[in-house]
Structures are given as C-alpha cells and as structure tokens.
A = this chain, B = another copy of it.
Amino acid sequence: MKKSHIVEKLLGDLSRYTPSNKAVTAYAPTNIALVKYWGKRNQELNLPMTSSLSVSLTDKGATTTLSVSAIAQDVFVLNGKPVPTTSVFYQRLLCYLDLFRPFKTFYFNVDIVSTVPIAAGLASSACGFAAMALALDKFFSWQLSSQQLSMLARLGSGSACRSIWPGFVEWHAGEREDGMDSYAEPLSVQWPELCIGLMIVSDKEKTIGSREAMQRTIETSELYKSWPQKVAHDLVILKKAIQEKDFDLLGKTAESNALAMHATMLSAWPPVSYYLPETISAMHRVWQARAEGVPVYFTQDAGPNLKLLFVDKDRARRYFPEIAVMQA
C-alpha cells in the first residue's frame, strides 16, 4: 500500500485541495519517548511494531510557514537558510509534499524555524513533520481531526504522529494493514513539574541512522523478539506512574525501556551501538547521583546523548550543571 492511497483515504475528495492565497503558520513541539518506538511493521507507512508513549517538550519544536512558491520549484528554508537540495532532509520534504500538490506543477514555499538544539538527538523530524501536517491542514482548509492529523504526520516520520499534542502522548500501534488505527492520542494528565535535562556528551554525527538501525535490529537481533513484551509491560507501568504522579516509577520504567532498546541493538549483527565512552560515563554519573539520593533517571534515543528525567529541579541541576533543562 502506498502513502498516496492513505492520503486519499484520509482526505477523501480531491476538490478539497484548495490552497490558501495567504501564508499559514503552525507549530508542533518535539517529543521524547519514555517507552520507545523501535521497529516498523510497515516501512512505507511508518507503522510500528509496538505502541509507544512520549512527553512533548513545550518550547522546543518547529514553526512552519507555508505559502505558494513564487518560482517553479519548492523553496525550503530552515532557520533562515536554504535547505541544500542534495540533503536527505530536502528529499524527505519533497517526497512528503508530493502527496499534497493540487496539481503537478504546484510548488510550496516552506519556512521552518526550529528551536530544537541541532545534533542533540532530539527528534527534529518529529516536530518538523507534525508542524508540516498542521500547516497543510490550515493551508488547504481541510479541518481534519487531530486523529487524522496524527496519521498524516506519521506518513512523514513515525514519531511525528505524537508531536501533534503537548504533554503525554500515546501512539497506538494499531493492527490494520492500512494503518488507519495507528495514531497518537494525548493522556489527560498534566505534570508541569516534570523536567527533561539534555546531557550532550558528543556532537559527533551518528554512524548509523535510526531507520537503518531499527531495520537491522528487527532482522538480526534474537533479543528483539522479547521487545514487544517489554514494551507492553512498560506501557502499563508507565501509565500507572503518570496517573499516580509516581516519579520514581516513571523514571525507572523509562530508563529500563531505553536500556532495553539499546540492548536489542547490541545483539543485532553487525552490532549497533550508540554508546560512546562518554555515554557510559554519563550513565555512571546518573547511577552515582541516584546512589547519593538525587532522584534522576535517564533515557536515550538513537544517538549518544542522554536525556535526564527529574522533578526536583534544583538538586538535579546542581548535580549536572551542564545540562540544558527543558520543561515537559
């Protein structure tokens, strides 16, 4: 099944493709998964093997402004600079927008302002494609539901489906082949005291992208076979922790889930490791802090940096003076 078929299912009548003659703007926050999305059951439609649960970062995200291009090609600008046409990002945007052109020679002008720290392993494609889906909805006056927007964002990047909302968000894996039951939904709980501290241990470029890494893990890692059970278990516990505002339970569940995700990669072949020596040092520092009574946990995505989780801001901040703290 092609993405274009899904877009047809979502949007229905093509006559709804009436572009705005004014520029429209939309914002979407980036999100940090506490129970990770790792592995696709459908690569074309970004359908996941398991459900996942994230928390959006209020003020880190992408603001996308969409208008009709003044020239006979798309124009993509990121933080004031043209996106190189040879970059992967350019190609992914181009393919995504191909799904929505009212006619073949319709071109977009896309201006993205991102507040996501560059190269920090913060999912910039998540907020990027979520903001794009929201902007497209405004631009064409579709008035889609959040559920539909979540699926539309997912076609751009899996975890983008969670960036449609602030706060805690669960992405239901779904079972359908067309993915029409694979979308995210917000949890009703607010927890403004929860903080995420970004601990950058290296700004070296990744040796392997997350798409390739997850695919290799699915194909070659025996331990990955237990991953769906691990996720199912962690989701139940994490939702309980959020409901009861039990920070230690949240931290423990998130840290264990992240470690298990990396564990599935280590047993892939060739092994996939996002661990740098500095990552291990950072992990030991977190464990040491906990041993000294500081309630802090970490999570780690497909990169060497850690994201610290804590509520008792000042204590963790004092212990890790170098972290950039972001409100969840």
Instruction: Rank and list the top 8 A-B pairs by shortest CB-CB distance, nearest first.
Output: A263-B263, A277-B277, A260-B267, A222-B230, A226-B226, A263-B266, A259-B266, A223-B223
With a CB–CB cut-off of 8 A, which chain B residues contact A255?
271
Task: Considering the complex, give the chain B residue whose CB is closest to the CB of A262.
Answer: B266
In the assembled complex, the CB of A247 is this many whole angstroms from the nearest CB of chain B, namely: 16
> SS class of chain A's interface: helix, strand, loop or mixed?
helix
Q: Is A143 an interface residue (CB 8 A)?
A: no
Q: List 8 A-B contacts (CB under 8 A).
A: A223-B223, A223-B260, A223-B264, A225-B229, A256-B269, A271-B287, A277-B280, A277-B281
Count A-side interface residues using an 8 Å CB cutoff.
Answer: 32
Q: Is A275 an interface residue (CB 8 A)?
A: yes
A264's contact among B262, B263, B271, B283, by CB below 8 Å, is which?
B263
With a CB–CB cut-off of 8 A, which chain B residues contact A259?
266-267, 271
Q: Is A252 an interface residue (CB 8 A)?
A: yes
Q: Is A219 an interface residue (CB 8 A)?
A: no
Expressed in whole angstroms, the Cα–Cα distance for A271 and B262 within the complex equals 12
In the assembled complex, the CB of A178 is this many whole angstroms from the nearest CB of chain B, namely: 30
With a CB–CB cut-off of 8 A, which chain B residues contact A229?
222, 225
